[in-house]
Structure 1
C-alpha cells in the first residue's frame, strides 16, 4: 500500500513539474545614465498544451518613461524527453527615462486558464536624465522638437514638429534662422516654416508656445537613430543668441526579409512608366528623348530610380532629373522624371527596357515588384524617311532650312517656319513662294534706303560728340529702366505664388540694371559697385544673389521668406538704379 502511495505522488509531481506557467521580467542592467535606453525582456512560458493565454500581457505603469520601441516573438516546440508542448512568448520594450533617481517598475500581469500570474516589482537607478527642452538664452526662450511616431521602418518618414516656448510672447518674433538637423543616417525634408498662432498655455509651466516649423525625417539605417538638435537664433537690438532644441531617439525597424532582388531603397507606394517624348519619327543615329516617370508617395526624393538597361540596339546618355514633388501625409508625393537621350543604332523594331523596380509598402507591410517597363519604337533609316516624304514636304523642309539660316535685320524670318502636314496643300506652297518674293523685294527696298541715308549723312554737318563721360551718361539714361515697374510686377507674382515667373523676372531685372552700367556678368558688376557705390553695397549685392539662388531652388517656399526676399530686392535695386 505504501509503495502505491509513493508511486501516485511521483506521478502527480511529474505532472505538476511539466504542466506549469512562468512569467518574469529582466532589465539589461540595474544602473543607467541619462543617455541610456532601458531594455526590458518579458518572458512568458507555458509547459503543456492544456494552458490557454486568455489576456495579452498587461504592462505596469510606465508614465515615467517614453516607449521608443517594442517587439515580440512566439516560439512553440515539443520537449522530446517528456513529449510536452512548450509555448514561449518573449517581448522586449525600449524605454527612455523622463526623470532621474530610483524608479520602480511594477508587476507584469497575464491571465492563463482563469488564473492571474504576475511578476515581482523591482527598482532601477537612473542618473542625469537630459531635459526635453534646452534653455540657451538669457531672455528665457526654449526650443522643443516633438516626434510622435518614433517607431518606423528604414526609409519610412516620421513627422517632426519644432515649437518655441517662452513666458514673454514678444520673444517669438525674435526667433529666426532655423537650421534643420543634418546627419549621415537621416534625410530631412522641410514641410513648411509657417508660424502658427500663439498658444498661451502649454505643458511647460506658465509658458506660451508657437509652432515654428514642420519637417519630415527619413532614417536610412536600422537600429536606434538619434535625430540631432534643431538650432535657431534669438536676435535683439543688443546681441544675438543661439538656441538649440532637444534630441529625439527613433527606433528604426529593419525591413522584412524576403525582398525581391531588384529592391533597393524605395519605401512607400509608387508607379513607374516610360514613354517617348519626341514627336518626330525615330531615325537611326538621331537622338530621341525617352522619359522614365516615377510617381507616388514615400521616400520619393531619396530613393534610387530605375534606369534604362543597356543594349547593343541603342546608345544611352546620363539622364536629366526633373522633380515635381510636395510633402504628403505619408511621405514626399508627386513625380520624378528621368529624361534620357537615346540614339538608335539600327533600323526596325527596338525595345527600350528599364530596370526591374520593387518597393516596400509600410501600410500593407509587403513588397511589391512592378517588374520591367518596355518601350517599343520603330526606327527608320534616313533613306526611308526621305522616300516617305511628299514633294510638298520636301519644299517645306527646304524653305524652313532657308528661313533658319538666312535672317534679315528687317524681318525675323524664323517665325514663318512651316510645320509639316500629312497631305498635299497648295495654299502652303503658294504661301512659301510669296514669302520668298516678299523677302527679295524687302531686301531691295532696304538696300535702296541705305543708299539714300548715306547721301543724307554726307550733306549734314557733323555734330560735336562731347566728352566720353557725357556720351556714356546719355547712353545710360537711354538704357535706364523704370525699376518700379519691376517691383510692382514682382509683388503681383509673389501674391499669386507664381514663383517660377518671379525668379525669371528677377533675373531679367538684374540683367537690365547691369546693362545700364555696361557690365555683362554679376561678378564684374559687383566689382563695379564696390568702386561706384562702396564695398557695403557690393557685399549686399553678393549676399542677395546667393539668397535668391537658395530660395529659387528650395523645395518648399514660405510666404514669409518670399516677403523678406522681395523687401531685400526692392531695397538694394532702388539704391543701385538711382
Structure 2
C-alpha cells in the first residue's frame, strides 16, 4: 500500500512539474511573399525557482532558410498571485526563405531538470512575387525595431525606461527610419526622453546586423497586474515607397501599491515638496483679486499626478487655477516644478490664512508613504479706503501717471515703457536729480528764446511748409524702414531645399523682427494687438497660430519635408498680407 501511495505521489509530482514548463515556437504570420523576412520566436517559460535549463535550444533543420539575424533576452519576475518565480527566455531569429511553396518548420528541443521538452512542428507558405520588386522588398524588410525595457517590475505610477533600437544588415537603411510613434494606451502614460540617434553599432545580433538607438522614453503604468506595452511604430522612407514597421511588445509586472495609504494620497509616486506663496508684494484688499501660487516640485510622475489644491474657507473664495510647468526627464521620473496659479478673493478684513490641501506620496525607494504637512500663506487684508490712505503722495502721482500712459498708448510711441514703478521708500536722490534736470531745462529754454529773438532780426521771412500730420509722418517713416521681404522668401526657399533647418528658423525670426519693426512693435504680443486693431482679428489670429506652429516645428525632434513646406507657404502668404 505504501508503495502505491509513493507511486501516486511521484506521478502527481511529475504532472505538476511538467505543467511548470512552457515551450513555444511561432512566426509572426503564416504566409509570406518571396523574400519577406520571417521572424521566428522561441519562448521558454519556467514557473518555479527549482527548475534549471540544462541545454541550449536545439533548433530544427533550417537549411531551407538563410539566418540573417538572431537575439536573446531573459526576464525574471515574481508572480504576485502564486508567489512563484517566473523565468522567461526569449530567442528571436530572422530568416530569409530560399524557395517558395510550403515549408515545414520542425520542433525545438530543450532539456529542463533532466526532462526533454519540444514544440509541435508546423508549416508556412511562401508565395512567388514579381522579380522587379524583389530587390526593393528585401531592402525594406531588412529593417527591424526592438523595444528593450530592462526593469519590468515596477509599482503603479513608477516609471521604467524603454529603449528603442533599429536593426538592419545595411547601415544605409538606418537613416531612412523616421516618424517614430510612441505607444498610446489607457493603462499607461508615456513621456519621451529624447529622440537623438546614437552611434551605429556595426556588429549587433551576432555580428550579422548593425543597430542604432533611435529613441528613449519613460513608461508610467497606472494600474496593477500584467500590463503590456504596445508596439512602437515607425516608417522607412525611400524615394519611391514609405513602409511602416512595428517593434515588439513588452509585458510589465506592475506591483500594487502597499495597503494603508493615507486619505490624502491620490496617485503621487516619487519624492515631492509643496510650497505656497504670493508672487506680488501689493497689499491685499477685501473683495479684490490677489494672485496665489501653489508650487509642487520633485521627481516622479510629476506630469500625471493629481496636484494638491487650496483648501476651502469662509474667509476667501478662489477659482480654478491656471497650470504651468517646467518639467524635464530625470533619473527616476519626470523632474521639475508645476505651478498652480490661483485667483483668490478675500472676504474679510484682518489676517487670513490660506491653506493647501493635505498631500502625501509613495516613495518607491523607501517603499513607504510620506505625508507632507499643509502649507500656509498668512496675509493681512485692508479695505479700499485704508489702501488709499496708506499711499504716499509720490505713489499717488505714480498711479495717476501710469493710468494716463495706459490710456493714451499708441502704436507709434510705446508709452507703457514709461510707467513709473512703485517704491516702498522715498528716494531723495531722485528728487534732487530731477530738480537739477528741470533747472537745466529752464536755463536752456531762456537761452534759446534769447538766441531766437536775435536771429529773427537778421533772418528773412520765408514761407512755411506744412509738416504734415502724425499719421503722414508715421507712414513716411514706415516707408523708409520698409524692406523688400521677397528677398527673405527666396532665401528661406533655398534653405528649405537644402534642409538647413537651423538657418531656416533663424531667418524666420529675422523676418518676423523686420516686419514688426516696420510697424514699431517690439514684441509679438504687442504686434498681435496691433494687427487686431489695424489689420483685423482674422490676420491677428493667423499670426498667433503661425507663431505657435513655428515653435512646434522648430523644436520637433523629427522634421518632415511636408511640415516644412506647409510652414513656408503659410509664412509667405501671411507676411505678404501684413506687409502690404
* TM-score, normalisation: structure 1: 0.65
Q: Which residue of 1 aligns with 2:357?
A: 355
Task: Identify the residue that residue 111 of structure 1 maps to in structure 2.
Answer: none
Contact 2:481 2:518 in 1 (8 A): no
Distance 1:511 1:567 in 2: 23
Q: Following TM superposition, by how much is the alpha carbon of 1:418 offset from its aligned partner in structure 2, in angstroms?
A: 2.6
Q: Which residue of 1 aligns with 2:77?
A: 69
**Structure 1 partner of 2:112:** 106
1:12-411 equivalent positions in 2, closer than 5 A: 25=17, 27=19, 42=48, 59-61=51-53, 66-71=74-79, 91-93=84-86, 95=88, 98=91, 106-107=112-113, 121=115, 123=117, 138-203=140-205, 206-407=208-409
Gaps of 5+ in 1: 1-21, 43-56, 74-88, 108-119, 129-134, 443-453, 460-470, 528-540
**2: CA distance between counterparts of 1:547 and 1:102?**
54
The count of corresponding residues between Structure 1 and Structure 2 is 466
Structure 2 stretches lacking a partner, 5+ long:
1-12, 29-41, 58-72, 93-105, 123-136, 446-462, 469-474, 520-526
DSSP-derived class of the 1:401 partner: helix
| 1:270 shift after superposition | 1.2
If the length of structure 2 is used for normalisation, what is the TM-score?
0.65
SS at match of 2:173: helix
Judged with a 3 Å threshold, the aligned counterparts in structure 2 of structure 1 residues 431 and 410 are, in CA distance, closer, same or farther, namely: farther
C-alpha change, 1:505 and 1:373, in structure 2 (3 Å) is farther
Superposition deviation, residue 331 in structure 1: 1.0
CA distance in 1, matches of 2:385, 2:256: 58
Contact 2:550-2:567 within 8 A present in 1 as well: no
User: How far did residue 389 of structure 1 move?
Assistant: 2.2
Give the Cα separation in 2 of the matches to 1:392 and 1:332: 48
- Check conservation: 2:270, 2:364, Cα contact below 8 A: yes
2:516 and 2:179 map into 1 onto residues whose CA distance is 30
Question: What residue in structure 2 maps to residue 421 of structure 1?
Answer: 423
Residues 300, 334 of structure 2: 8 Å contact kept: yes
CA RMSD of aligned residues (A): 5.3
Give the CA deviation at 1:92: 3.7
Deviation at 1:521, TM superposition (A): 7.5
CA contact (8 A) 1:28 1:38 kept: no
Pairwise CA distance, 1:549? 5.4
Residues 31-62 of structure 1 deviation map (CA, whole Å, 9 limit, x = unaligned): 868699987654xxxxxxxxxxxxxx655239
The answer to whether the 8 A contact 2:192-2:218 is kept is yes
Q: Deviations over 1:395-445 (max 9, x none)?
A: 33333333333458986554433333334456767899999999xxx9xxx
